[in-house]
Amino acid sequence: MANFSQTMDVSPVGTFSEYKDGIFHTSCVMEINAPYHVVKSVYLSIVEGMKSSPTKDLDWAFQNMSKTTGSREEFLLREEGVVYNPQSNKYQLKLKIGLKDHEPGLYTINANLKTQTYQNGKYEISFRTTQKIKIMNSCGITLHLMQKDANTSVVCLHSDMSFSWLFNIFFTEKRYKNVLEWRLEQFLINVKNRSESHHKMVKTVNTL
């Protein structure tokens, strides 16, 4: 498998991925034309949706992820149940996962789901698995939010994924891009679109 660090790929919205030491790393950074507090409200809705029913309460966040134009592959992801303990931040998600032309499997994902606000105002949502599953050794996804100026925010997504040796055999860097990378990027695009839409709505109401 080729190393991403040798062929760094940067898309127009600032997304790149790297494969190193058995782990796929993806980073996506983009500016949002909306104030910090507006984008943070969207981030908070992500947290609450994760705790209740991601596929139902966060349907907006997964828009345009089922399209498979060009080389992009279909990817089945169906939620079967969620349990969250706010005292320990322990999170359990039951999912049916599968690729096109492959029988989907039911997996129980145990993880920690945390939020943190730093002294400089940066807000962070972090999700990290705590146990291996059949197809994946580990997975971590972190969302950051920072203020650039009064009407502009910067959002970042960082992920690291390590697949089981059997799954990793056919999950090449090309397939990773066709299945997962663009969906991670699309997630952040959906956050951007929702934040800017909310901001425009508030501005319209304030002018009435």
Q: Is the pLDDT assigned to residue 77 strictly greater than 90? A: no
Q: Quick one: pLDDT at residue 101?
A: 66
Give the pLDDT mean for 186-203.
Answer: 94
Cα–Cα distance, 200 to 143 (Å, whole number): 23
pLDDT in tens, 15-58: 999 999 999 999 999 999 999 999 999 999 999 999 998 888 99
Q: Quick one: pLDDT at residue 166?
A: 79
Q: Given strand 105-117, what is the order of strands in its sheet?
A: 15-20, 23-32, 152-163, 136-149, 123-129, 105-117, 90-99, 75-85
Which domains does the chain possess?
4-207 (3.30.530.20)
Give the pLDDT mean for 143-164.
Answer: 96
Higher pLDDT, 68 or 112: 112
